[in-house]
Amino acid sequence: MNLFEIQAPSLLERLRHNVLPLDVEKKTIRSSIDIARSRVAALQGQAALVEIEALSEYVTQYLSLLAPIRRLPVDILRRIFLDPVVHEKKPRQTDPHSILLHYRPNTLGAVCYHWRCSLQCVSCETTTLWSNLAIFLNQPHRYTIDGLRVALQRSQKAPLHLAFRPVHSSSWSSLDTEMMQEVCKHSERWVHVEVTSNPELLRLLSPAENKLDSLQTLTIRTPSQSPFEPPAQPSKVFAHAPKLHTLRLIGNLLHSPSVAPTLPWLQFTRLCIDVEWNTSDYHYVLSHAQNVHELSALFWHTPYFAHLQATSHDLHKLHIHHVSQFDGSEVNVLNHLTAPALKELLVSSCKLDNLTMQSFLSRSSARLQSLALHDTPIRAADLVSLLRMVPTVERLVLANLLPNAVTNRVVQSLTASPSSAEEILLPMMTSFVIDGGYLFTPDALFSMLESRLASTNALSQLKALNIILPTLAVPAPRLESFANTAKEVVQSFRFLCSDETRRKIEVRSGSPSDYEKIGAYEFPN
């Protein structure tokens, strides 16, 4: 059996420098790989391990030589490494950090010589690749002091996004102390920081105290059962950070209040809570963070609240999410909150109780402008009742609800008709987003949309539509006729459904960013 052998330069040299095979070589290489695989299959069960290993190595190396990614030139690789998607955070991941926070440039550079050269070229032009750092303490195999210094040097003067990841330990090595001293030298560049409530970690961060003039976002994590010994005094490393406006709490921070660092509560305008709450935690945070404009609360279990009330006078956006979908968990957090300035309410994966909602809205006297329901179990009758409570809503989002949540009754209640004796729901609605599979008919939907588009009142005429109904069968001519009318009125338009043959059809106008803006109902990170 004769296998293909590359000559001058050798196979390993080609792999190292990304020297691609000629077109005339590729066909021969593929045939040779098939021969090697057949030989390996024939040798299975025989005492020929040395030959099998050699053939397997041969297949691996030549497949790598033919890999499509090797055809990417350096300039394309550099664009991929610098693409914003690579650096963005994923809101629904358990650990919402950018890809490059986990796979640092030196890790990507270990893939091959070609990638390493590409990354070196990139690092000379931008600091983005080196400004997102995960600092692994008490884990010398994950990071070295030399590697940290190189990253900080290559980041130049760029804002730093830092995540400190210590393993719980009663003692810290001199290497850990040296690493913390090194990163604290650049504290004036810290913009986004994630820490745990480990007292020893906070003590090692103390050189940064009163030097966090650029810090904007702080994430504090604690395990469900804090194993730390409480410090003599709470850490004050984050007490003075004039630009700090966003706080994310993950874990059971306040179950051990002596472990929590001192925070500038009145500065926070955005608060994201991802914890297993009890009454004292909830009341403590909202009573201290009195200037919060946006509150995002994720619940892993149905929290128990006593009769403690919290009033947030500046709260404009409230996002409530329950991690366990459709387990019947009610949003009883609203029983203990008053938000007179509330403009936007998003409820995800929580059971809505109309009495709770009515009490909350009546107590707050808020003029709600945006209502979004996502993965929320609610019946059609209750949805109609809820919409009747919020006549000032201008933007309505109904996403991934149960099929019987939006029926002809709901759609007809939103239809503007001069002859109708019943008052129209949401008379000020100008933006409508619906996503999922529901029980209403196409005629009912089009009648509602056309009645809204024909409104002569600019305050109630639809301006933005994002309709994603993959299971709704609509005759193509009907959709085309409606789309032509809608495009003359609305600023952004998207309609996705299927025709009579169940073939997906989609009509849109406007830029993709328009659809993303009006259709955004993902829980924020």
- Residue 521 and residue 397 in contact, taking contact as beta carbons nearer than 8 Å: yes
What pLDDT is stored for residue 512 in this prediction?
A: 60
Using only C-alpha atoms, what is the Rg of the chain? 29
d(CA 13, CA 30): 19
How many CB atoms are closer than 10 A to CB 182?
14
Give per-residue pLDDT as tens, 150-169: 888 888 888 999 988 876 65
Tell me the domain boundaries of the chain: 11-71, 411-525
The arithmetic mean of pLDDT across residues 107-133, rounded, is 68
Tell me the angle at which helices 476-487 and 442-453 cross, rounded to the nearest 10 degrees.
20
Residue type, 83: D
What pLDDT is stored for residue 523 in this prediction?
A: 40
Query: Mean pLDDT in the chain?
Result: 79
Residue type, 481: S
d(CA 160, CA 101): 11
Quick one: three-class SS letters along 245-271?
A: CEEEEECCHHHCCCCCCCCCHHHCCEE
Give per-residue pLDDT as tens, 62-105: 888 888 877 777 777 777 766 655 555 544 444 444 445 444 56
d(CA 23, CA 70): 14
Query: Which residues make beta-bridge pairs with 505?
Result: 497
**Helix H or strand E segment including 180:** helix 174-184
Q: Which residues contact residue 136 at a Cβ distance below 8 angstroms, ignoring those fewer than 6 apart?
A: 142, 143, 165, 166
Closest CA to 436 of 464, 465, 397: 397
End-to-end CA distance of the chain: 58
DSSP structural state of residue 419: T
Give per-residue pLDDT as tens, 45-66: 777 788 888 888 888 888 888 8
pLDDT confidence band for 174 (50 / 70 / 90): confident
**Helix H or strand E segment including 370:** strand 370-374
Torsion of CA 93, 95, 99, 100, to 10 degrees: 170
Q: Which residues contact residue 475 at a Cβ distance below 8 angstroms, ignoring those fewer than 6 apart?
A: 442, 499, 500
Q: Tell how far CA 480 is from the center of its chain.
A: 35
What pLDDT is stored for residue 1 in this prediction?
A: 54
d(CA 400, CA 252): 31
The arithmetic mean of pLDDT across residues 502-524, rounded, is 66
Give per-residue pLDDT as tens, 450-469: 999 987 776 678 999 999 99
What pLDDT is stored for residue 92 in this prediction?
A: 43
CA 187 vs CA 44, 137, 210: distances in Å:
59, 18, 9
Take residue 376 and report the two structure tokens written for it. Answer: 């929320």
Checking if the pLDDT of 328 tops 50, the result is no
